[in-house]
A and B are shown apart, each in its own frame.
Chain A
């Protein structure tokens, strides 16, 4: 749910508080929300859990019912390549969604779907100078019943609004954007192969386009969504696992920064470090923080570790949302799903390199893997750190946790099992 500051909203809540549901205090999803909120320390009003929404004005958000569609003519279509050549983000579909925000015109304008085209941007647009930009990543899957499903799009919307708020960009009603995205996916549906190896990657982006140099919140912005059919993302070694490089001299995020928001400025600076790691024979970079070398993220994914804890139980650990970590949707889904399994304990805790090395030496470190929308699960078999090469027995486990997690997620995403996480769109 998007977090809004609005007098209209507060009034609505006041009038309808009898309808708001009681929240279970034991709910794990509430725990994350609390953590998230406590880190923010904002004076935000809790969002209503019930529809219908209060009257939406252009200041607050655009509306799906205002959506205008202009379908591409045959001469504007791109022929489809071989499914093997798709890669990640190389090909794009035939249509796109654009929604302008102009403070001068009252706020959010009407959403439009049109044939895919280049953007026309003023050279002084703020996004080009001060990285006033954010983006999201989610996928549409073609299930076994030939129906298309989105995986927890409401979480991406919530995250997108948090990033907008942090960047001085306008916020909006996530549900309206999800409806617009559903229509866009419906139009370009045939870009998803009818097999289970490919998906449609959805990239909503919000940029500040006001053409003035002042370093302040832009008065004009553009929210656009483009789709890309994708097959594999990371290239792994022959056994399917990756090797990662941990360099303590590189810092991806820092307290008080934007490490926990999905903004473009977090990713550009990682290219150099990743190229250096590749020269040393590694696929990705393990981002560390602090003198105790805390593990934060790996590549563009959240990191998970499976080990035998001090009580002798199998434990799945991941770093907590302390401001340095992007709250991944895959990450959150893994925590929630695995918490329901009886044979494993799930903890969000700080993990340091010393701990990793110690557990590995004692033979108690079982698996390490990265988790993200693009690649779902990426098992890690080797970590390069200082002068050491730490071998991790991820691929040697029988019945590994990462495989269980991956299979559970894929089963939900492709509709093998009915689950509230995956929503069907026609």
Chain B
């Protein structure tokens, strides 16, 4: 079976994204800022001229907040105005731009527990969010983008307000007590603007987290970015005074009291020169064009359809009862299912049916393959398969699958649904 490999080169850390969005909104900063082809023509202000704001999102919906992050990245001019946005979400799993949701998360469990699955625009690994998790996005002009500054700022805030000591490891994660990861990082750099997004675990439900991200037998082979699992800890375990609210406030004040380009303490007098905290209401009438961004993020085509091509290979031993009773077989009879999934749709299916199953009367191979092709890699495929096998019975007018067909259906179910 020819396997088309993923062409994109995937990195596990920051992902550079060239070019601006295709869509134009009422405000398009790039068009109106009269920036010539050469970047050098943009005059950046001195440190004293930059003012800072802390935006606090009023929404807890992951798709709305991701859309807001994207809207600000595409439409706001950060030349003289650096912004730190803080936000929280209802329970959800967020995968990186180039990741495979079936590989990273327990997809059937997510839909069963109504936990949302979202794919963000930036690269990196998978995270689980709930209300005990704080998201922080640092926005700055591309030339002033500085991940180290941002992470060190968080480190300083944790110490100044709560006495918590932390370190930054080589993967740019924030580590406490030398081994527990309390934050993850992802970023996106455009022509004019860059953003750096971190998470901070304050009081997340660790049990739900591990269930949602559980690694299971799946047989997937892919070139998509895989997450590196680490041992995590909640900040609340280190100091039980911490809540998401007071951490948000502490980070905000640390951000406002630090000069824009170097780490120092400007104190209350520097805070008084900034723009301060603002609530942000992410709706389409406050931010025209937001609804369109959100609709894209919610769509199946983006969340699942954007998965880099992968193959699935599973083998299932056939129960003795389904084999021809008179025959004895030398090797274990195994049904092997191979599938290629592209853009979240089943592309190529190969079924290796063991002789034992053929001799006992299973004939469904051809129709199975035809009916699965083009279907989404979800239960949808399964229903199509069962319908396909049912139609084979038009001769004998039986509306039920025989036990061999049931077995095959069950195997497919395992492939698709126990991801």
- Tell me the A residues contacting B by CB distance below 8 Å: 68-74, 77-84, 94, 144-147, 186-190, 193-197, 426
A146→B277 contact, CB < 8 A: no
Q: Would you give the 0/1 interface string for B263-295, flagging 1 where the beta carbon is closer than 8 Å to chain A?
A: 000000001111111111101011110000000
Alpha-carbon distance between A71 and B276 when the two chains are bound, in angstroms: 6
A73→B277 contact, CB < 8 A: yes
Alpha-carbon distance between A356 and B252 when the two chains are bound, in angstroms: 61
Residue from B33, B76, B281, B288 in contact with A79 in the complex, judged by beta carbons closer than 8 Å? B281
- Tell me the B residues contacting A by CB distance below 8 Å: 26-27, 29, 32-33, 51, 53, 55-56, 58, 75-77, 80-81, 245, 248-249, 252, 256, 271-281, 283, 285-288
**With A77-B277, A77-B279: A71-B26 Cβ-Cβ less than 8 Å:** no
Query: Which B residue's beta carbon lies closest to that of A71?
Result: B276
Contacts of A69 in B (CB 8 A): 272-273
Contacts of A197 in B (CB 8 A): 285
- The secondary structure that dominates the A interface is loop
A190→B280 contact, CB < 8 A: yes
Contacts of A193 in B (CB 8 A): 285-287
Contacts of B283 in A (CB 8 A): 82-83
Contacts of A80 in B (CB 8 A): 58, 279-281, 286
List 11 A-B residue pairs with CB atoms under 8 Å apart, sorted by A's residue number.
A68-B272, A69-B272, A69-B273, A71-B274, A80-B279, A82-B283, A145-B29, A187-B276, A188-B278, A189-B278, A190-B55
Query: Which B residue's beta carbon lies closest to that of A193?
Result: B286
Contacts of B51 in A (CB 8 A): 186, 426
- Determine how close the nearest CB of chain B comes to the CB of A86; give it in whole angstroms: 9
Query: Which A residue's beta carbon lies closest to that of B256?
Result: A71
A79→B58 contact, CB < 8 A: yes
Alpha-carbon distance between A249 and B340 when the two chains are bound, in angstroms: 86
Contacts of B80 in A (CB 8 A): 426
Alpha-carbon distance between A196 and B287 when the two chains are bound, in angstroms: 10
Query: Which B residue's beta carbon lies closest to that of A93?
Result: B278
Q: Which 9 A-B pairs have the closest CB atoms?
A: A71-B276, A83-B285, A80-B281, A145-B32, A190-B278, A69-B272, A193-B286, A195-B288, A74-B277
Query: Which B residue's beta carbon lies closest to that of A188?
Result: B278
Alpha-carbon distance between A82 and B278 when the two chains are bound, in angstroms: 15
Which of B51, B280, B285 gathers most chain A CB within 10 Å?
Answer: B285
A190→B53 contact, CB < 8 A: yes
B27→A144 contact, CB < 8 A: yes
- Determine how close the nearest CB of chain A comes to the CB of B281; give it in whole angstroms: 4
Residue from B29, B76, B276 in contact with A72 in the complex, judged by beta carbons closer than 8 Å? B276
Contacts of B32 in A (CB 8 A): 144-146
Alpha-carbon distance between A315 and B81 when the two chains are bound, in angstroms: 47
B249→A194 contact, CB < 8 A: no
Query: Which A residue's beta carbon lies closest to that of B273?
Result: A69
Q: Other CB < 8 Å A-B pairs besides A193-B286, A426-B51, 16 of them? A: A68-B272, A69-B272, A69-B273, A74-B245, A79-B279, A82-B281, A82-B283, A82-B285, A83-B283, A83-B286, A84-B285, A144-B32, A145-B33, A186-B275, A189-B278, A194-B288
